Amino acid sequence: MSIRAARARIIATAVVLAALPTLAGTPAAAQDDGIRLDFLGERELPNAMPFQGTTVGGLSALSYDARTGAYYVISDDRSQTGPARFYTAHVDFADGALKGVELTGTHPWLRPDGTVFPPTSTAGSTVAPDPEGIAVDPRDGSLAWTSEGERIVPVDGPALLGDPWIRRATTTGASTGQLPLPPQLHMDSQEFGPRKNKTLEGVTFTPDGRRIVTAMEDPLYQDGADPTPEHGALTRLTVHDARTGQPLAQYAYPLEPLFAATSAGSTDTNGVSDLVALGHDRFLVLERASIYTDNNWKARIYLVDLHGATDVLGRDSLTDPSAPPVRPVRKTLVTDLSDVPGLPRVDNVEGITLGPRLPDGRRTVVLVSDDNFAARQVTQFIAFATRGIQGGDCPRECGC
């Protein structure tokens, strides 16, 4: 079916989102799957901390390099306070606890011509990246990173559109290529494709480095409305071949109904903010509710399994009633950060990665929060340990 025909069908069809399946698990179910997170501690960086000529903030994702022990942390600064960039960090685990976090370096993301990205300019039709996801290739230590793109559609005048992307880079930020997107993920001035600021939010490599998996934060226009307190929504996970970059498969991910609300009973939305692979088919997925007005945040971690899910690669709409039904991925609640004893606060937690194993054999899980460069928010690093994660180690052929 052509995209034009799909639009016509979607506009003419009433999508009943209340019928979406509720697939959230329970803490008891999570224990049945052998995943239990033990809190190791929380550390915060100073607000607006200066570091090597940059202002630290907007930390939206992180990824651990098992070869070197370094963490790569991306900032979602759209070249406003400084060039679009990422940081390296050292996370100190000692005596079974998170002892400290220290930034060790920073690099700007570079365009193919070797220059830094300028800020967005509607006058010059320049679209800066909106960096959101970062992942270390376990085979060679190189990086993959995502941008959410841009969608500015004025009532009068031309639209300013920038596609989301998945790019490859060296550990110093030099561009080494870009992965092709499924056609449904390109920006459009019509209500088709991604919504503004709700696109490629998370990226991860499978432990063998052969697959790159990305997560859309929220539904495409044609996949239905954002979550509400009454119903969830469907967004998309896409699997790419890491060598060729080509999309191999895509799956529907069931977002929860809104699980956080402001005092007035409303919230912006909730969506997928990051994911980390435990194997080819199992992931930890971070869902986060964003509530800017009250500075009140919620975040949950789910165990996700792709087995049995419908491959929707090539489908224009996940909610088209004339198409075969879609079976989403299975998900089980691992933890709600609001229920973690000892965690002093939950800010805008956006990133998740697997860290090193502790001497007792438990695997660490590290989270980071995006302070939105706001004085009332904080940059948090939160750490857990678990015995329930069997995957996620650097493969044997990596030599690490």
**Eight-class DSSP state of 338:** G
Residue 83 carries which DSSP code?
A: S
Residue 90 in tokens: 């050292």
Tell me which residue of 193, 184, 117 sits closest to 159, measured CA to CA: 193
258-308 pLDDT, tens digit each: 876 655 555 567 899 999 999 999 999 999 987 666 678 899 999 999 999
* 235: CB partners within 8 A, 6+ apart: 215, 216, 217, 218, 219, 220, 223, 252, 253, 255, 271, 272
The three-state secondary structure class of 168 is: strand
Residue found under tokens 């010059």? 124
Structure tokens, 279:
């194997």
Which pLDDT score, from 0 to 100, does residue 49 have? Answer: 98
Retrieve residue 330's tokens: 């299975």
Q: What angle do CA 213, 396, 71 make, to 5 degrees?
A: 55
Rounded CA-CA distance 74/88 in Å is 9
Alpha-carbon distance values, 39 to 7, 261, 364, 384, 398 (Å): 47, 25, 10, 4, 30
Comparing CA positions, the residue from 57, 101, 69 lying closest to residue 369 is 57
Whether the predicted pLDDT of 26 surpasses 50: no
189-203 tens-digit pLDDT = 999 999 999 999 999
Question: Could you give the CA distance from residue 347 to residue 298 in angstroms, rounded to a whole number?
Answer: 8
Q: How far is CA 89 from CA 85, 149, 160, 300, 354, in A?
A: 13, 26, 35, 24, 14
- CA-CA distance, 317 to 240, in Å (whole number)? 20
Asked whether the beta carbons of 91 and 355 are under 8 A apart, the reply is yes
> What stretches of the chain show up as alpha helix (H) in DSSP?
3-12, 27-32
Q: What confidence score (pLDDT) does residue 390 get?
A: 59
Bigger pLDDT: 18 vs 95: 95
d(CA 267, CA 254): 19
The stretch 66-94 carries a mean pLDDT of 97
The percent of residues in the chain predicted with pLDDT above 90, rounded, is: 78
pLDDT at 1: 43
The mean pLDDT of 153-171, rounded to a whole number, is 95
pLDDT confidence of residue 360: 94
What average pLDDT is seen over the chain?
Answer: 88
Chain center to CA of 215: 6
Count the neighbouring beta carbons within 10 Å of the beta carbon of residue 399: 7
What is the pLDDT confidence band of residue 8, given thresholds at 50, 70 and 90?
Answer: very low
pLDDT value at 3 more than 70: no
- Both tokens of 4, joined, read 């034009």
Residue entry with tokens 């997560």: 215
**Res 42: pLDDT:** 98
Position with higher pLDDT, 81 vs 3? 81
**pLDDT tops 70 at residue 393:** no
In which band, very low, low, confident or very high, does the pLDDT at 24 lie, cut at 50, 70 and 90? very low
Amino acid at 85: R
Coil, helix or strand for 28?
helix
Q: Cα separation of 123 and 350, whole Å?
A: 31
Ranges 6-10, 317-321, 354-358, 375-379: which has the least confidence? 6-10
Average pLDDT over residues 64-80: 98
pLDDT at residue 290, rounded to an integer = 73
pLDDT band of 398, cuts 50, 70, 90: very low
Least confident of 94-108, 171-185, 248-262, 303-317: 248-262
State mean pLDDT over 196-222: 97
pLDDT value of residue 263: 59
Where is 135: in which H helix or E strand?
Answer: strand 131-136
Whether the pLDDT of residue 102 is over 60: the answer is yes
* pLDDT(122) > 60: yes
- Which residues 6+ apart lie within 8 Å of 331 measured at CB? 23, 24, 25, 253, 254, 285, 302, 303, 304, 305
Q: How far apart are the first and last CA of the chain?
A: 47
pLDDT at 293: 64
Question: Is the pLDDT reported for residue 114 higher than 80?
Answer: yes
